[in-house]
Amino acid sequence: MAPTEYVDRPVPTISLEDFDDRIDAITKELVNAAENVGFFCVIDHGISYESVDRIFDQSARFFSQDDNVKAQVPFSPQHNAGWEKNSQVRPSTGVADRKESYQMQFGEGMNGRWLADEALPGFREEALSFMQQAQSVSEKLMICFARGLGFENDYFVSAHDVSRPESQTVCRLLHYFETPELPNPTGEVYHRAGAHADWDLLTLLFQKAGQSGLEICPGRELSTSFGYGDAWTKIEPDVQKNAIVCNVGDLLMSWSDDRFKSTFHRVKAPCEPGDYYGERYSIAFFNQPCRDAQIQGPLKKYPLITGEEFTRDAMSRNFKSLKEKLQNKEEVKSREASSIAVMSQLSTMA
Ligand SMILES: O=C(O)CCC(=O)C(=O)O
Ligand SMILES: [Fe+2]
């Protein structure tokens, strides 16, 4: 396999210090990052190291439960909540990511999808308290992006109100398994998170020191397109400063009439010297719109739709693209099979 092509692209680190007084300067930096890279890191965001450590401890505690315990809260695609393992297939790879994840929400989508408190005492309370903190940081960013697009300050905040039962915002705990470092004879690729763009407004990604692997591939012009290039850039957040990696999702790309970029990213399948092969934990906080939010950009490039419709369309686009990928794979396989048959005929004829 050809080595991965890497390029250096600047991924800005933006301080949220003195937010109220510096809001215009911060907005300028965020808008610039969203227009040019789609990824940026925020520091001085108000979430302490201890809070981040605590939620990672809770995440390890959750994933260390037996599979049949976790299976009591199975992932529901309809609600986008619950636990899944080795089952998310990305259109970019056509095979399941090697990981497990647990998606939690504030709203009705989470009904019946928390483990009983006796199974994991204190977990739900700790998780919700962390989610509230991630929501507060998200709201600061939403205010800046609303200002950057000429909307009222609270425009995105009220469309993502997590106190409403219609909230669809998701906090996803992720656990990637250790990857065998030996060359594998089958050539199988152990995808961690295959290349994809997120569908939400804005994602906050919490990474653990020493557990690298997140990479980006900018260059997408439309929020509905799937193609991506070949050159990747490693995301290396400043862990000393407790940086949160943030990325624009398809929703903000579409809501900004494609001005802000939702960038393809992946957690690399480790396969080259220097890659991290160990067990990996991360946490993604996806700001999803309330089901009844009204979505349309200032230039009205796309028709007005609701949060529920946007999510449904994103899922069906994903599904269609996955079907095409699997069909192509089948065609390649059958072409390979027939050329092998022709070749073996030729060799028997020779
Ligand atoms: O694990 C990570 O660092 C990234 C995960 C991610 O991109 C996702 O779940 O959408
Ligand atoms: Fe993602």
- Span 176-194, pLDDT tens digits: 999 988 777 777 888 999 9
Specify the 3-state DSSP secondary structure of 193. strand
Give the ligand with the smallest distance to the CA of 263: 2
pLDDT tens digits for 25-50?
999 999 999 999 999 999 999 999 99
Residue at 44: amino acid letter: D
Which one has a higher pLDDT value, 221 or 328?
328
pLDDT band at 315 (very low <50, low <70, confident <90, very high): confident
Residue at 240: amino acid letter: Q
Flag the least confident range among 83-97, 131-145, 312-326: 312-326
Residues 6+ apart with CB under 8 A from 189: 93, 95, 269, 271
Give the Cα separation of 237 and 116 in Å (integer): 35
Give the Cα separation of 104 and 129 in Å (integer): 12
Residue 212: DSSP 8-state: -
Give the ligand with the smallest distance to the CA of 205: 1
Which one has a higher pLDDT value, 281 or 349?
281
CB 38 within 8 A of CB 216: yes
Token output for 335: 């072409």
Q: Which residues partner with 285 through β-bridges? A: 171, 204
Token output for 307: 């949060």
Give the Cα separation of 42 and 254 in Å (integer): 23
**From its phi and psi, is residue 112 left (phi > 0), alpha (psi between -120 and 50) or beta?**
left
Give the Cα separation of 60 and 104 in Å (integer): 15
Which one has a higher pLDDT value, 229 or 80?
80
Look-up of token digits 């507060």: 136
pLDDT given at position 223: 67
pLDDT given at position 187: 77
Query: Quick one: which atom of ligand 1 is closest to the CA of 176?
Result: 1
Centroid of ligand 1 to alpha carbon of 339 (angstroms): 39
Mean pLDDT confidence for 307-328: 86
Flag the least confident range among 19-23, 56-60, 120-124, 330-334: 330-334
CB 281 within 8 A of CB 174: yes
Nearest CA to ligand 1 atom 8: 284
pLDDT tens digits for 132-153?
999 999 999 999 999 999 999 9
Query: Quick one: which atom of ligand 1 is closest to the CA of 174?
Result: 1
Query: Quick one: which atom of ligand 1 is closest to the CA of 247?
Result: 7
Give the ligand with the smallest distance to the CA of 97: 1
Token output for 172: 């996803």
Task: Calculate the alpha carbon distances from 8 to 11, 125, 233, 236, 260 in Å.
Answer: 9, 41, 6, 11, 20
Provide ipTM, 2 decimals.
0.99
pLDDT given at position 342: 44
Give the Cα separation of 26 and 146 in Å (integer): 13
Task: Please tell me the pTM assigned to this model.
Answer: 0.92
Centroid of ligand 1 to alpha carbon of 179 (angstroms): 17
pLDDT given at position 227: 60
Give the Cα separation of 175 and 155 in Å (integer): 34
Give the Cα separation of 259 and 149 in Å (integer): 9
Best residue among 246, 282, 288 to mutate for probing ligand 1, ranked by most atoms within 8 Å of CB: 282
Mean pLDDT confidence for 71-90: 94
Give the Cα separation of 57 and 152 in Å (integer): 38
Give the ligand with the smallest distance to the CA of 191: 1
Provide the residue count of the chain.
350
pLDDT band at 350 (very low <50, low <70, confident <90, very high): very low
Mean pLDDT confidence for 299-306: 96
Give the Cα separation of 231 and 239 in Å (integer): 25
Task: Calculate the alpha carbon distances from 258 to 139, 288, 296 in Å.
Answer: 21, 18, 11
Residue 341 in this model has a pLDDT that exceeds 90? no
Residue 256 in this model has a pLDDT that exceeds 50? yes
Best residue among 211, 265, 286 to mutate for probing ligand 1, ranked by most atoms within 8 Å of CB: 265
Residue 57 in this model has a pLDDT that exceeds 50? yes
Percent of the chain with pLDDT over 90: 73
Centroid of ligand 2 to alpha carbon of 74 (angstroms): 21
Best residue among 204, 205, 318 to mutate for probing ligand 1, ranked by most atoms within 8 Å of CB: 205
Centroid of ligand 1 to alpha carbon of 336 (angstroms): 34
Give the Cα separation of 250 and 248 in Å (integer): 7
pLDDT given at position 347: 39
Which one has a higher pLDDT value, 109 or 51?
51
Best residue among 90, 202, 214, 264 to mutate for probing ligand 1, ranked by most atoms within 8 Å of CB: 214
Please state the φ and ψ torsions of residue 326, each to the nearest 5 degrees: -70, -35
CB 42 within 8 A of CB 142: no
Centroid of ligand 2 to alpha carbon of 197 (angstroms): 6
Mean pLDDT confidence for 241-253: 97
Residue 2: DSSP 8-state: P
Residue 345 in this model has a pLDDT that exceeds 60? no
Nearest CA to ligand 1 atom 10: 198
Flag the least confident range among 15-19, 95-99, 151-155: 95-99
